[in-house]
């Protein structure tokens, strides 16, 4: 851990916590009191600072804004009735953050900086962690290029910043998805496996079109043939048919989700046959037609476990059964909720205790 003397801390004068409408948190619009800021100059990460959350100052010429050298992460802190605070598998996010950095030609964070900064910030703002069902403190680490230079080349200076938001679930209720037959989120050889800011900007237009038609999210297909399922833009997708749990295999166009990994591990623990492989749209449609697709859900930190009730493909809607009858989804979802709050045996030692 970074000793406190190694962090330069400036606390807020007066907390804004009294102004929060706790029954209307939504997702990502309320911000806790503090943020972490770490500057990178001349090949060195400087002393981490904690500052009151608020606007930052930089030039309009920074390369993050023009050429998209920007990456992020998303994880959550949970609090239980005893006031204990946990973050779920943060070292997985730390590793993924450095992989994203490498792909985007950004400097890696030194060992410990990611997790220690989160620990410091969450400890300071722990009163902002809501305890209600489905609620948590969303943690958003990110890094962006800040050279004041209008030329396309890797920046020489960066900011690593973390802020937090008390949130509710991203999706409330069942999800309707559209299998995308035309547009592409990520191509082979591209940046789909990195949490790179540009991936999300590029997905906005097709996603908005799907939303205008009444679908919550897109189920992306491969860029070359649009025949194989990939993932949804903020969550991986997982299916069950009988005793088989299956999901698209990882590749450089699919984000290696911590939730996906955890679901697959638990499915194995619980005796399911787990398959990570190519899944064609036609296989999925056949299963739907035969009534053999028993469950389908999105898996992600923000989305948690989001049951998919309706799937649109080429103008035809396919419906799954009533999601309240799904055994796997309805077992794993509350199991995760308890596990992440530290009230379920943590057999894989996934929880990182903060308080
Ligand atoms: C963040 C993200 C996910 C989910 O990853 P988790 O580690 O489970 O939160 C899935 N797909 C994409 C594209 C993402 O950005």
pLDDT at 23 (0 to 100): 93
pLDDT at 233: 86
Q: What per-residue confidence (pLDDT) applies to 5?
A: 58
Ligand 1 centre to CA of 221 (Å) is 16
- Ligand 1 pocket, mutate which of 87, 90, 255, 336 (most atoms under 8 A from CB): 255
Domain ranges of the chain: 4-167, 175-340
Give me the pLDDT at residue 4, please. 54
Q: Which residues pair with 270 in a beta bridge?
A: none
Nearest to 101 by CA among 66, 57, 145: 145
Q: Tell how far the Cα of 209 is from the centroid of ligand 1, in angstroms.
A: 21
CA distances from 79 to 47, 87, 152, 263, 355 (A): 29, 9, 44, 21, 9
Interval between CA 93 and ligand 1 midpoint (Å):
10
Nearest-CA residue for ligand 1 atom 6 is 257
Classified by CATH at the fold level, domain 4-167 comes out as D-amino Acid Aminotransferase; Chain A, domain 1 (3.30.470)
Which pLDDT does position 173 carry in this prediction?
82
pLDDT at 165: 98
Q: Which CATH class is domain 175-340?
A: alpha beta
Q: Which residue has the tokens 């800011």?
A: 197
Residue list, ligand 1 pocket, CB within 6 Å: 74, 195, 231, 233-236, 255, 257-260, 300-301
* Spatial separation of the C-alpha atoms in residues 256 and 251, rounded to whole Å: 8
The residue whose C-alpha atom lies closest to atom 15 belonging to ligand 1 is 234
The whole-number pLDDT of residue 336 equals 96
* 260 CA closest ligand 1 atom index: 8
* E-only strand ranges, 62-157: 70-72, 75-79, 85-88, 136-145
Q: Euclidean distance between the first and final Cα of the chain, in Å?
A: 14
Give the residue from 167, 172, 292 showing the smallest Cα distance to 239: 292
Model pLDDT for residues 159-211, shown as the tens digit of each residue: 999 999 999 988 878 999 999 999 999 999 999 999 999 999 999 999 999 99
Say what the pLDDT of residue 171 is.
80
Q: What is the pLDDT of residue 152?
A: 96
Residues of the chain with pLDDT under 70: 1-5
């Amino acid at each position: 851990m970074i000793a406190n003397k190694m962090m330069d801390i400036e606390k807020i004068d007066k907390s804004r916590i009294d102004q929060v409408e706790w029954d209307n948190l939504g997702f990502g619009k309320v911000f806790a009191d503090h943020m972490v800021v770490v500057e990178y100059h001349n090949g060195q990460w400087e002393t981490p600072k904690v500052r009151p959350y608020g606007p930052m100052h930089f030039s309009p010429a920074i390369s993050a804004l023009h050429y998209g050298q920007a990456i992020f992460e998303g994880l959550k802190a949970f609090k239980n009735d005893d006031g204990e605070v946990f973050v779920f598998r943060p070292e997985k996010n730390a590793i993924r953050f450095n992989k994203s950095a490498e792909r985007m030609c950004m400097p890696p964070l030194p060992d410990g900086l990611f997790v220690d900064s989160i620990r410091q910030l969450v400890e300071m703002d722990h009163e902002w962690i809501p305890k209600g069902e489905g609620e948590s403190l969303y943690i958003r680490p990110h890094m962006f290029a800040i050279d004041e230079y209008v030329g396309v080349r890797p920046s020489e200076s960066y900011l690593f910043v973390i802020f937090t938001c008390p949130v509710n679930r991203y999706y409330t209720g069942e999800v309707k998805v559209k299998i995308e037959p035309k547009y592409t989120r990520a191509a082979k050889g591209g940046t789909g496996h990195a949490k790179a800011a540009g991936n999300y900007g590029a997905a906005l237009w097709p996603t908005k079109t799907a939303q205008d038609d009444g679908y919550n999210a897109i189920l992306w297909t491969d860029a070359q043939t649009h025949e194989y399922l990939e993932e949804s833009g903020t969550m991986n997708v997982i299916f069950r048919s009988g005793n088989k749990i299956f999901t698209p295999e990882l590749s450089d166009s699919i984000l290696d989700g911590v939730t996906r990994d955890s679901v697959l591990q638990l499915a194995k623990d619980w005796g399911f046959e787990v398959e990570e492989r190519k899944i064609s749209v036609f296989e999925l449609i056949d299963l739907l037609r035969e009534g053999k697709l028993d469950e389908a859900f999105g898996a992600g930190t923000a989305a948690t476990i989001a049951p998919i009730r309706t799937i649109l493909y080429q103008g035809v809607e396919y419906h799954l059964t009533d999601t309240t009858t799904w055994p796997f989804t309805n077992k794993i979802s509350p199991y995760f909720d308890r596990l992440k709050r530290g009230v379920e045996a943590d057999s894989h030692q996934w929880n990182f205790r903060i308080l």
